[in-house]
Amino acid sequence: MKRRDFLTTTVSVAALTYLSRQAEAWSQNHHLLHSSQIHRTYPSWASRDLFLQGINAPVFQEVDLDNLPVTGEIPPDLAGMYVRNGPNPMFQPIAYAYPLEGDGMLHAVYFEAGKAKYRNRWILTKGLTYEMQAKQALPELRFRNYANTHIIAHAGKLLALYETGLPYEVSRDLETIGEWSFNGKLEQAMTAHPKLDIDTGELHFYRYSFFTEPYLTYYVANAAGEITRTTGIELPQPALLHDMALSDNYAIFCHCPLVFDFQQAMRTGIPLVWQPEQGARIGLIYRHDLDRQPIWIETEAFWVWHFMNAFEQNGTLVVDCAYYPQMILENTLSAILSNRSQFQRLTINLDDRTITHQALDDRNVDFPSLDRQQTGKPYRFGYMPHMDLELIAQKAIPNYFPELIQYDLVNQTSQVHRLQPGCYCGEATVVPKSNATSATDHYVLTWVFNEMTQTSDLLILDAANFTAAPLAQIHLPVRVPMGTHGSWIVAGEAA
């Protein structure tokens, strides 16, 4: 046999073997679902958009799955629900700008008495409802509230968040109730990344505007869900502020030079342009003195999608984040590969208002998380998935995280939980143990996509033995696409 024929035959056999395994996995998963488990099915479609393929491809069924199979054992003190949000377009988009677009879909696992069940639902926003009536994507509704970025519990309500629209309230069964405006006190929009003061029950959040001044408005809602503070903050020009941080005395904002450009928005659908010559500014807003003006500290240009935490210590303000030296917001593989991040600590001297930068890790990371009871306080452990840029370049598809990193911020060390080959995680969610007495007494939950079986598992890791096998691996016969952010909702926390 000639070498060329041998190679052709070998590649063909390998391809057929892979495809047969995929078909077998699909067949097995298909037969595992009974009609009684399927809530709704919608017409499927395929896209060549890199943000709608592979790990990012949407699913087209809403299902209810009880008594999920488990490898290992679910800790008996886990009682509540883990729910995660993310973009999942119901109809094939005419154009797509991930993660700004795509109908929100919630994926929840409910824990009770050592057992688990799963449910997923689209969030029935006004825009999606119109498209469902038309049975197609409507281009005039492209720039709308998708409710696709985060979900939190506050004041007895479950709120799905999208930073350029009002929250959507959903039930614990993930059924859409409707928009929530804090009894009419919230106008236009709410950030997707509010911060909860665990001691007071206050929720700190904001909205930004591209069109009307002030371009930033800071809100505080009390534990009963009543807005108690509305403070307008002047910015020199509109910009994207995706996240905020909180410490004992300050609400912290980063005004980075990813600024609004109306002409580019009309031309490309992406309204933001990177202007590093403007530098960046960090704003400190006094939490307890409404009359004091914000402190603004200038520094070199950088971008932050997400903060890990912030806290005050010995006359300084420490801010930990996933730090990008630049941000090119384009839906291209080259832009994704050029936007390299690292875990970085910014230490602000509150007396002379200077900033010191310290790299805590040079791996490409984002989606930071920690025990929310440590928000705004000195803390020890935080988590981020590692984004493998070489793998992303090889697959030409973004969002592949083959390992999860545990950071010990006190000892400035890290450990890695490496997933099985072909398996990829997302954001981690930290759940304190019921009898916690130390910083390691918590569980770490993350969705994991298995590329070979085209199914997903929910992993429960023990923070005290982070590199070991999961305490429990909850198996689903369906796939959970790569999403954005989620929360642990304790039993009774939301109606």
Whether residue 162 is found in the same domain as residue 26: no
* 64: CB partners within 8 A, 6+ apart: 37, 39, 117, 118, 119
How sure is the predictor about 5, in pLDDT bands with cuts at 50, 70 and 90?
very low
Whether residue 168 is found in the same domain as residue 22: no
**Which helix (H) or strand (E) element contains residue 32?**
helix 3-32
Q: How many CB atoms lie within 10 A of CB 6?
A: 10
Whether 430 is covered by a domain: the verdict is no
Whether residue 107 is found in the same domain as residue 7: no
Whether residue 27 is found in the same domain as residue 144: no
> Which comes out higher in pLDDT, residue 29 or 285?
285
Whether residue 356 is found in the same domain as residue 379: yes
- The count of structural domains within the chain is 2
Whether residue 284 is found in the same domain as residue 362: yes
Q: Are 405 and 415 in contact (CB under 8 A)?
A: yes
Whether 448 is covered by a domain: the verdict is no
Whether residue 240 is found in the same domain as residue 290: yes
Whether 483 is covered by a domain: the verdict is no
CA–CA gap between residue 57 and residue 46 (Å, rounded):
8
Among all chains, which residue has been given the structure tokens 């990371």? Answer: 365
Whether 63 is covered by a domain: the verdict is yes
Q: Is the pLDDT of residue 3 over 60?
A: no
pLDDT in tens, 340-387: 999 999 999 999 999 999 999 999 999 999 999 999 999 999 999 999
CA–CA gap between residue 442 and residue 300 (Å, rounded):
37
Q: Are 162 and 104 in contact (CB under 8 A)?
A: yes
Whether residue 109 is found in the same domain as residue 4: no
Task: Please tell me the predicted confidence (pLDDT) of residue 32.
Answer: 65
Whether residue 23 is found in the same domain as residue 155: no
Whether residue 188 is found in the same domain as residue 262: yes
Binding residues for Fe cation: 193, 242, 306, 485
Binding residues: 193, 242, 306, 485
Whether residue 70 is found in the same domain as residue 172: yes
pLDDT in tens, 237-264: 888 999 999 999 999 999 999 988 777 6
Domain that holds residue 3: 1-32
Q: What is the DSSP letter of 334?
A: H
CA–CA gap between residue 495 and residue 478 (Å, rounded):
27
